Structure 1
Amino acid sequence: MLVRIVKMGFDTAYVDTFLRQFHASKHNIRQFEGCMFLELYQDQQDPSIFFTYSYWQTAAHLEAYRHSDLFKSVWSKTKPLFNRKPEAWSVDKLESLE
């Protein structure tokens, strides 16, 4: 399993727009083949910073999503809202305690 973490910063004027766009597309992203989990987090100190955490069966599934029409549609609407360059990490989950 691969975990994808993406950090995004928005102009405060665009936070509500981003949230509406995320809520409109989240189920389609989650239902994309290979996506096993999707969460959205908002920074407590700076509410214009968000993180997405998604779990993918394999790196190939993530790459298929990143080259899909769904991703292109979501990203084309999200990218203009950024106030800084997004950061992304693909990591392996080593342990999880509940």
Structure 2
Amino acid sequence: MRLFFFLYSWLVFVPLVAVTTLLLGAVCLLLVPFLPADQVSRLTAVPWARLCLLYSGVRVNVHGREHLEPGQSYVIVANHLSQFDIFVLYGYLGVDFRWVMKHELRQMPVI
């Protein structure tokens, strides 16, 4: 079973995530000059995150989203027990949000 997981991870999951990221990233870059950021996010980041979770077999159940009030500001904290926090926040939170990062990360060209 461990061998199957390893093979699936590297031969299926990683290539699918890479292709999905490249395609939807390109669509995002094309749409940014023409649409508001929150709309571009809904059109690209949400499907990207949901597809990545689908590829991995992760099912998400969200509880308490009904307590979020439109127009209200919130601080959302992810504990990063895994890298799947990013997929879950984008794919299933249902609100437009921004990331906060420490200053040193700005020196990394990819981020």
Whichever of the two has the greater Rg, that structure is 2
TM-score (norm 1): 0.37
Query: Greater share of strand residues, 1 or 2?
Result: 1
Higher relative contact order (CA 8 A, sep 6+): 1
